[in-house]
Amino acid sequence: MGVSIKSAEDIVCMRLAGRLASEVLDHIAPQVAAGITTGELDAICHRYMVEVQGTIPAPLNYAPPGYKPYPKSICTSVNHQVCHGIPGDRVLRAGDVINIDVTVIKDGFHGDSSRMFYVGEPSIQAKRLCETTYRCMWLGIDQVKPGAKLGDIGAAIQQYAESQGYAVVREFCGHGIGRKFHEDPQILHYGRPGTGMVLEPGMTFTIEPMINAGRAAIRELADGWTIVTKDHSLSAQWEHTVLVTDSGVEVLTTSAGCPERPAQA
């Protein structure tokens, strides 16, 4: 499958889908508190997407080859869960950290974003991991421009994460996105500068590093979706959808409540 270069009309649709995905995260943010279940967070997001935005939750019943259909509308990954956590009866407790991953479909186009949230006051370790991962994402975004190569993105993320004593998950990566949830190219969060595909204006893809406080090794739970760290260490992830422009990069998944770019990224 070749890489999809988006037209001017496609980009207008991608901007809308990206903003709507980010607005779901704005909407759920005040609800992330001790005592709520991840299933309740999913239900709130589902209602907002379907009834308020008129969007389709892309994860619901999504079934890539080798997987059974995903049963919920968002992913909720708590503490040592790396990604694809299925919402359910788990009650959030003070000190937890949680990644909420949202993908909406609007007018046939996908917008995909995730954020980390603190439940009450996080530990110093958890806060540092989440802040480092956020900076990793932005360091990757800063590499995006016409003529740059995919390896530049992964190298920037890997260098900073490892300089802080953390490990980059290698089995999962960012991806092209548009009319399809997952398109080419794959965006690795590790690599060597100057290697890989050359970036061109009109490409749209996600940058979504998963960074572990301990070792990089992961395993899949029996539900067939949830990924956790093998050593039970904390994991964090942030995600934006970006567009390669004629002069650089545009972040498509922004909204009024989107966290600010870190000062030193």
- pLDDT tens for each residue of 78-104: 999 999 999 999 999 999 999 999 999
Report the alpha-carbon distance of residue 191 to residue 197 in Å, rounded: 12
* Residue 99 counted as domain residue: yes
Q: For residue 242, give the nearest of 153, 159, 167, 158 by alpha carbon.
A: 153
Angle, helix 38-47 to helix 8-28, in steps of 10 degrees:
130
Domain that holds residue 107: 8-251
Q: Which of 257, 16, 263, 265 is nearest to 117 (CA)?
A: 257
In 3D, which of 261, 14, 16, 20 has the Cα closest to residue 140?
Answer: 261
The pLDDT, as a whole number, for residue 250 is 98
The predicted pLDDT at position 263 comes to 83
Residue 1 has pLDDT above 90, yes or no: no
Coarse DSSP helix, strand, coil percentages of the chain, rounded to the nearest 5 percent: 25, 25, 45
Residue 57 lies in a domain: yes
Mean pLDDT of 250-259: 97
Residue 265 located in a structural domain = no
Residue 210 lies in a domain: yes
- Has residue 122 been placed in a domain? yes
Q: Is residue 95 part of a domain?
A: yes
Contact (CB, 8 A) for 253 and 240: yes
Q: How many Å apart are CA 45 and CA 117, to the nearest integer?
A: 15
**Rounded mean pLDDT, 117-123:** 97
Nearby residues of 51 by Cβ (< 8 Å), 6 or more positions away: none
Tokens of 140: 């990757």
* Cα–Cα distance for residue pair 59/51, rounded to 1 Å: 17
For 208-220, the pLDDT digits (tens) are: 999 999 999 999 9
Judged against a pLDDT cut of 70, whether residue 265 lies above it is answered with: no
Number of domains in the chain: 1
Residue 227: inside a domain: yes
Q: Which two tokens stand for residue 112?
A: 């995909």
CATH number of the domain that residue 32 is part of: 3.90.230.10
Summarize pLDDT for 141-170 with one digit per residue, the tens.
Answer: 999 999 999 999 999 999 999 999 999 999
**pLDDT-derived band at 16, boundaries 50, 70, 90:** very high
Evaluate whether residue 258 is within a structural domain.
no
